[in-house]
Every structure is written in structure tokens, then in C-alpha cells.
């Protein structure tokens, strides 16, 4: 990524900021685009780097994660390599200090000719994940890779699910560099939106601060 402006020495910067921010008992959500590898077997170096960092990591799929496989295969891959700090947000939710962490990749909606079938599938996955979050009794907090809205438009299929469940907090990625100017950060209807792309955060994990939590997430 260091061929892109603003990403110089990003691995070292991310490592330093992570070590200064995240404790072993914390949970970190990584909202996709985790490796350029095309096959799962080729991600080992990238995940070895993340494994060595403190905290439990919950992973979402990004649009560049072409290595992504079934959850069963990915868990087996991590297990055989001794990677024990990863799990996946995929049609499910994780209760952490009163917060029910859930979500899905979402879908790119700027192109009118986009894949409608895939968009509806992602909306269905979001519905399933939020439903799982609600069953935990915790406060649902949604993570997406793609933004549900930008300053120009919104994704009706994803936004309808968020509205129907009265979701108060959404974190998303995907927008980098100059495209981050299109991001909606702050209140959107009854929902608080936060962009968490690595370069937007200057490679420092963003701490979630809620009254429901007793330790870091």
C-alpha cells in the first residue's frame, strides 16, 4: 500500500500505534481489505503480523479480500498455523462488554449497473447478523466494509435494514485518500456513522467509548 500517497511506512506506523492503544484483553474489529493475496494460503505473512499484535481480532470481508473462503476453511487455516486471535463476523454477532458486534461487507452502490443480486444477499446477511446481535441482549453495533451512505447518495437496501432495527452506531471503511471527503461522519438520521479506514485514522485504532463497556473495544 505504500505506493499510495499517505501510506508511507504504514506497517511500522500501524504496529506502533496498535501497541500503544490495544491491550491483550481488548477486541479489535478489522473492516476488510486485509491482504492483497489471491489465495488463502498466501495470506500467512499478513496474518502472522496481525497475530503478533495484542487483542482478539474480528474480521470482515472487504472488496479486495479475494483470498476469502468459507469460515470453516479459514478457521482451519488459522488453527493449523497457530493463529488463535482471529474470528469472523459473518451472519453472527459477538457480545463484548455489553456491545453486540455485528455486520457484513455491504456493497458498492455508486454504479447503477451493479450486481443487484449480490446487494440483496449482503442486505440479508446484515439482517441475519443484526438479528443475532439482538438475541444477545447487548447494544447492536454494526460494522460494514462499504459505506451505507456517502454525501451524494445512500444504499437503500442496506439503509432500510439499519432503519428497521434502529441501529445507533455504524462503522465502515473502503473510502481512502481524497475519496474520504465523500464520507458521512457523524449523525445520519438516528444513526452515528464513523469512517475507520486505516489511512483516515492515521493508522491508529479507534477506541469505542460507550457507557455499556467496561473495558476497551
Q: Which three cell numbers stand for residue 196?
A: 475507520
**Average pLDDT taken over every residue of the chain:** 93
- Judged by DSSP in three states, 87 sits in strand
Region 49-74 average pLDDT: 97
Residue 7 C-beta-side C-alpha neighbours within 13 Å: 11
**What tens digit of pLDDT does each residue of 177-211 get?**
999 999 999 999 999 999 999 999 999 999 987 75
Contact 210, 96 (CB under 8 A): no
* CA distance readout (Å), 34 to 31, 48, 184, 189: 8, 12, 23, 30
Q: What percent of the chain has pLDDT over 70?
A: 94
pLDDT of residue 3: 74
Model pLDDT for residues 106-141, shown as the tens digit of each residue: 988 766 666 888 999 999 999 999 999 999 999 999
Amino acid at each position: 500500500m505504500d505506493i499510495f500517497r499517505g501510506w508511507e511506512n504504514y506497517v511500522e506506523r500501524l504496529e506502533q500505534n496498535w501497541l500503544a492503544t490495544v491491550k491483550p484483553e481488548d477486541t479489535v474489529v478489522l473492516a476488510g481489505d486485509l491482504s492483497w493475496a489471491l489465495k488463502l494460503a498466501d495470506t500467512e505473512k499478513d496474518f502472522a503480523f496481525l497475530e503478533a499484535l495484542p487483542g482478539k481480532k474480528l474480521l470482515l470481508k472487504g472488496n479486495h479480500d479475494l483470498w476469502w473462503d468459507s469460515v470453516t476453511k479459514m478457521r482451519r487455516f488459522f488453527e493449523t498455523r497457530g493463529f488463535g486471535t482471529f474470528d469472523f463476523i459473518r451472519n453472527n454477532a459477538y457480545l463484548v462488554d455489553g456491545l453486540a458486534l455485528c455486520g457484513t461487507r455491504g456493497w458498492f452502490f455508486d454504479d447503477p449497473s451493479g450486481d443487484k443480486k449480490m446487494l440483496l444477499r449482503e442486505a440479508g446477511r446484515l439482517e441475519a447478523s443484526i438479528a443475532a446481535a439482538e438475541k444477545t441482549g447487548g447494544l447492536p453495533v454494526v460494522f460494514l466494509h462499504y459505506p451505507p451512505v456517502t454525501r451524494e447518495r445512500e444504499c437503500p437496501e442496506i439503509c432500510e435494514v439499519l432503519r428497521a432495527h434502529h441501529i445507533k452506531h455504524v462503522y465502515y471503511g473502503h473510502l481512502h485518500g481524497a475519496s474520504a471527503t465523500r464520507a458521512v461522519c457523524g449523525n445520519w438520521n438516528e444513526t452515528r456513522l464513523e469512517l475507520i479506514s486505516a489511512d483516515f485514522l492515521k493508522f491508529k485504532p479507534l477506541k469505542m467509548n460507550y457507557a455499556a463497556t467496561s473495558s476497551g473495544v
